[in-house]
Amino acid sequence: MLITHDTRCALDTVVDLVNTAPEDETPEGLPDVATLEEFVRTHKVSDVGALSEFDLAAVRKIRGRFAAIFAAPDARGAAGLINELIAAAGTTPRLTDHDGYDWHVHYFAPGASLADHLAADCGMALAFFVVAGEQERLRRCEAPDCRRAFVDLSRNRSRRYCDSRTCGNRLHVAAYRARRKEAAG
């Protein structure tokens, strides 16, 4: 599956957005407007004006809708959720070549709120995966104490953990220690 630069940026953005949600003992990753502004800067989200508490609440709301897409049991369920998300955002596809990037498509309407911007661009990036029959690549980490979202871009669709150096390695070390303990009797 060919993934363009802007689609990859949108995928990274949506994964990082979903992973800001508070879960179990993980605190809210978007606690205030300043943190949301930093999120926008870090992800180089273009055409964003001044942000407010309203924007923060709206982004948290669509974050939950994106999380539901990652949890969808099949392509039909994901497609329905994506369709609702991008329709509500009022997508307006247009070609642009800003900030030194070659021509690419933005799906958000000019002047759209940050939430609509993210819903449109990130929603379309996820839609491309469903269209390509790759919805199963939208995953949650299989480590028992981690449920972070990620997109499996491995060739054979075998990635199981959000980060092999942390979650994957931790589980492999635990399994190794359990085997050694059992062998020692």
Within its chain, how far is the Cα of 23 from the centroid? 16
Between the CA of residue 124 and those of 11, 14, 78, 119, 145, what are the distances in Å?
10, 11, 12, 8, 30
- The mean per-residue pLDDT over the stretch 20-31 comes to 91
pTM of the model: 0.87
Q: What is the pLDDT of residues 96-142, one digit of tens each?
A: 888 787 888 889 888 899 999 999 999 999 999 999 999 999 999 98
pLDDT class of 58 with cuts at 50, 70, 90: very high
Tell me if 118 sits within 8 A of 88, measured CB to CB.
Answer: no
Q: Is residue 170's pLDDT more than 90?
A: no
Q: Is residue 164's pLDDT more than 70?
A: no
- d(CA 48, CA 43) in angstroms, rounded, equals 12
pLDDT class of 174 with cuts at 50, 70, 90: low
What's the pLDDT score for residue 182?
77
What's the pLDDT score for residue 34?
97
